[in-house]
A = this chain, B = another copy of it.
């Protein structure tokens, strides 16, 4: 019963193989049978672990979300100052999206975008404890708009990734945190 450390459970194998399938074929051509094949199990076997193909995809989304949360936890551990933590969280989100291109579409397309949203909300409260909550929330939305938009532009390849552009994004985020 206990998961041996070396080998992943079939459920985990399906999620990992499903991510690869998502990378290689996109969500419009996601084949559960192909995923099963690549795990060397029969086409019906996945149904012992997931109710449906959609349920597997949902599990993949959750897995991705947890990965992003892990990363953002690390950022929070390193940066104590709430403002720099906020900026670095956004940058980490952007880098995460670039490193995992299929993730962003997935995160954005179905209300799975919470990890960054929650952190921005909390950090904004720490940054501006006395600010009018409406104003504070609005600023949070602008910050997230910048992060989401930049991630989109960078991941789509329309905007080329560079240290310079990351610096520019940082500047714009910081500007929202001033005054």
A window 10-28: CB within 8 A of B: 27-28
Which A residues fall within an 8 A CB radius of B? 27-28, 30, 105, 108-109, 111, 113, 117, 138, 141-142, 144-150, 152-153, 156-159, 165, 168-169, 172
Contact A138 B168 (CB under 8 A): yes
CA–CA, A172 and B117, complex, Å: 19
CA–CA, A158 and B142, complex, Å: 13
Q: State the copy count for this chain.
A: 2
Contact B153 A141 (CB under 8 A): yes
CA–CA, A146 and B146, complex, Å: 5
Contact A108 B152 (CB under 8 A): yes
Q: Please name 17 further chain A to chain B contacts, defined as beta carbons within 8 Å, in addition to the given A113-B158, A138-B165, A141-B150, sorted by A numbering.
A: A105-B108, A108-B108, A108-B152, A108-B156, A111-B156, A111-B157, A113-B152, A117-B158, A141-B153, A141-B159, A141-B165, A142-B168, A144-B153, A145-B152, A146-B149, A148-B153, A149-B149
Contact A152 B148 (CB under 8 A): yes
CA–CA, A2 and B149, complex, Å: 44
Which residue of chain B has the shortest Cβ distance to A135 in the bound complex? B168
CA–CA, A10 and B142, complex, Å: 44
Contact A145 B141 (CB under 8 A): no
Contact A153 B145 (CB under 8 A): yes
Contact of A148 among B28, B105, B142, B149 (CB under 8 A): B149
CA–CA, A105 and B149, complex, Å: 13
